[in-house]
Amino acid sequence: MHKKVQSLAPGESSKEERELAAELVRRELIDFYQKFDPNYFYSDEQETGKQLYEQILQNSALVSVLAGEASVGTLGDEVWDMLQELTRKEQKFGDVLSKGNTLDDLEPLLEAAQISALSPDRRAYVGGRTVNHFYRFLFPQKYDRKLAHFDQENLHAVPASFAKDFLQYVATMEEPNEEDADKISHMMSTEGSDVFVFWTLAPYMHDELMREGHDAKQSMERIFDWIREGFDRQQAGENYVCHFPAAEFVRTRDRFSVLGYDERMPSHLLARLNAKKVIEHLE
């Protein structure tokens, strides 16, 4: 006797297929973070950092969140606290606001993003220190020469993909205009906590939106709207510790760290979890 096979509508997946997909996501991210290199911790923190990070990566609630099976809100304070502690043991870029950095040539960035040129009205979207930040994402060894002394491979794919997709979006966006460019550039290239929040969360917001099934253009449209709303709240003088919508908790709970040298490290995992939480609140 043959087992009856339930027919599915086009594009619909079975429970088994969804469970398999979730398991693949779980393996991908957990396996990725478990391959971290303890040399990216400070030398006197490598052993304790390695043990603590291995411990937290086995946390069942964290595994469920990374697999997309549970909300970030299910994570207990101990997970956040342990990750925050680990970020203090991790080596990071020293000057993320780029005051003393002279990497201002846009052409290598455009070449990396496979863009031949940007018109002046589009270049206005990457004004000020934005170029320096994109060097940090696309050419980290040029941005911070300490990285040249590391023997191990430096993984920075998520920030690099964000930088390329951002530039490609600007190159193809409809009706760029000076007022809009001023808003976007202001929130990305000035000083203060809003800028720190943007450059830490935006790459992982983009990655999470792509994992949800959005294409690069759709993801960038949502991030640009997030930037615009943050600008409007800032200019209105509203008293937020962070003006980007749904990101206030990052500053009020001190669950925040500048991204480190390698994306397998705790600062990047913390950024991914924060990005997930922002997206959940915006949806």
Q: Going residue by residue through the chain, which has 283 residues, state the pLDDT in tens, using 9 for 90 and above.
A: 333 444 445 445 566 765 666 566 667 888 899 999 999 999 999 999 999 999 999 999 999 898 888 999 899 999 999 999 999 999 988 666 555 556 678 999 999 999 999 999 999 999 888 998 999 999 888 888 777 666 666 788 999 999 999 999 999 998 899 999 999 998 998 877 888 889 999 999 999 999 888 999 999 999 999 999 988 888 887 666 677 877 877 655 567 888 999 999 999 999 999 999 999 888 7
Shared domain for 66 and 126, answered yes or no, is: no
137/200 Cα distance (integer angstroms): 11
Shared domain for 42 and 116, answered yes or no, is: no
Shared domain for 136 and 262, answered yes or no, is: yes
149/137 Cα distance (integer angstroms): 18
Write out the H or E segment, with its range, that includes residue 46.
helix 46-56
Shared domain for 151 and 37, answered yes or no, is: no
Shared domain for 80 and 175, answered yes or no, is: no
101, part of any domain: no
Question: What is residue 41's three-state secondary structure?
Answer: strand
Cβ atoms of 237 and 15 within 8 Å: the answer is no
pLDDT for 6: 43
Shared domain for 39 and 135, answered yes or no, is: no
Place of tokens 């008293």: 239
Residue 233 lies in domain: 107-282
Token pair in block for residue 151: 């023997």
pLDDT for 7: 45
**What's the one-letter identity of residue 214?**
H
158/162 Cα distance (integer angstroms): 6
99, part of any domain: no
What would you report as the CA-atom Rg of the chain, rounded to the nearest whole angstrom? 20
Q: CB 212: neighbour CB atoms within 10 A?
A: 12
101/95 Cα distance (integer angstroms): 8
Shared domain for 216 and 133, answered yes or no, is: yes
163/240 Cα distance (integer angstroms): 27
Shared domain for 237 and 149, answered yes or no, is: yes
Place of tokens 């000076």: 178
Q: Model pTM?
A: 0.86
pLDDT for 60: 92
pLDDT for 1: 38
Query: Pick from 76, 94, 56: which is nearest to 269 by CA?
Result: 56
Residue-wise DSSP of 50-61: HHHHHHHTT-HH
Total domains, the chain: 2
pLDDT for 281: 84
Cβ atoms of 278 and 246 within 8 Å: the answer is yes
